[in-house]
Amino acid sequence: MQPLKFLRSKNLIWVVAPLVVVVAIVWYLFLPVAEVAIVQRGTAFAAVYGTVRIEPTEVVPVRAQNAGFIRLADPFSAGRGAIGKTVEKGQLLATIADETTARQLKQARADLAAATERAALPLPSAELLKTAEDNLQRLEKLAALSNVPAVEYEKAKNEASRLRGAVENERIERDRNLGTLEDACKKLEAQMKNSEIRAPMDGILSNIQAIDGELVAEGNQLFTVSARKNYVRGEVNEEDVGEVKPGMKAILQLYAYRTQQFTARVSAVQPAADPETQRYTIVLDLENPPDNLMAGMTGEMNIITGTHEDVLLVPTRAILVDQAWIVKGGAVQRRTVKIGFRTLDFAEAISGISLGDRVVVTDQDKLRPGQIVRQRRLNIVAGNIK
């Protein structure tokens, strides 16, 4: 009878033990998961956060100098599809048809050509002057021989003098007329030249606001040409700008280059805030920019204002005001942490936590002190700034 009882107990153990294991596994699997990071040593940074935008060093609007129907040059006939094309200084972008000025210029050139031809002919009084001077020379010779009355000689002399004055007046009037026609042609040619829209500098066509064939008014903006060279324009809040000084190092993260960080230096702090956002503009020089850096790219920056070496670092997202949750012995505990330098990624822990502690970095609001949790370790490397 005893061996039978032992056998039944042994069988019961084999049945119960797996059930206990299954219950334990289910219980463990249903425990809340705490994502944790390890407190480690590294360099803490004090930084001013800001946003950045890549801007061209120079932007020039191109406006219409006269009214008329615009015709885009062949390389830019695609309209807005041509945005981004490279242009050279003086390159023709478009022409504005000014038919009235064109007709006036054609007539003015014809008038000038006719006047030039007439100017090549002898003046109207020139032949009469030549005859009068020949007659005066003949009378002078006769007067020397006392063979001509003095009255007749004086009359011939006065006539020659009158004709000289007439010829001079005709020459002055001819030259004045030619000058007037030449000035009129130059003025109309200048107006026609204004109808040619040309690139004001080497650069990139960054905007096209004209539509091929449309009527434009004088002063309308038609194109925008931007310099090929770019710079970094950052913006920081009013409460932070006092900490920023020229020469400070900045770490940039451009959204177009998610896996890369770039280093820059503050070159200038503009003295006036944007009246709408009350944010201050910071000009930065980017070190080793990528080859395909383009205007309009945006991102974030941290301007480094101080460093502390060999200190405890905790992920910033693990800190809620001055509180942090740590996992110890499988249960969560809340700690009050004194924070020093802080960036978006890491904060310096002066007191409250120790090297190697496991701090919870997500969903802290779902935890309570003493709660048993499963841990999922995140590999967050200290020392980088974003």
pLDDT score at 12? 57
Could you say which residues of the chain have pLDDT below 70?
1-30, 97-99, 101-102, 105, 143-148, 188-194, 382-386
Q: Give the burial string for 72-85 (b: 16+ CB within 10 Å, else e).
A: bbeebeeeeebeee
CA-CA distance, 135 to 148, in Å (whole number)? 12
CA-CA distance, 110 to 112, in Å (whole number)? 5
The amino acid at 153: Y
pLDDT score at 27? 46
The amino acid at 90: G
Structure tokens at 194: 């204004």
**Beta carbons of 344 and 302 less than 8 angstroms apart:** yes
pLDDT score at 357? 92
Global model pTM greater than 0.95: no
* DSSP state for residue 372 in the 8-state scheme: B
Q: Which residues pair with 377 in a beta bridge?
A: 36
Residues in the chain, how many? Answer: 386
Cα 13–Cα 18–Cα 20 angle in degrees, nearest 5: 90
Q: Give the burial string for 252-285 (b: 16+ CB within 10 Å, else e).
A: bbbeeeeeeebebebeebeeebeeeeebbbbbbe
Burial of 217 (0-12, 13-18, 19+ CB in 10 A): exposed
Q: Is the dihedral of CA 112, 117, 121, 125 positive or negative?
A: negative
Place of tokens 């310096």: 348
pLDDT score at 297? 94
Termini Cα distance of the chain: 76
Q: How far is CA 203 from the centre of its chain?
A: 11
pLDDT score at 373? 87
Q: Which residues pair with 44 in a beta bridge?
A: 308
Structure tokens at 347: 């904060």
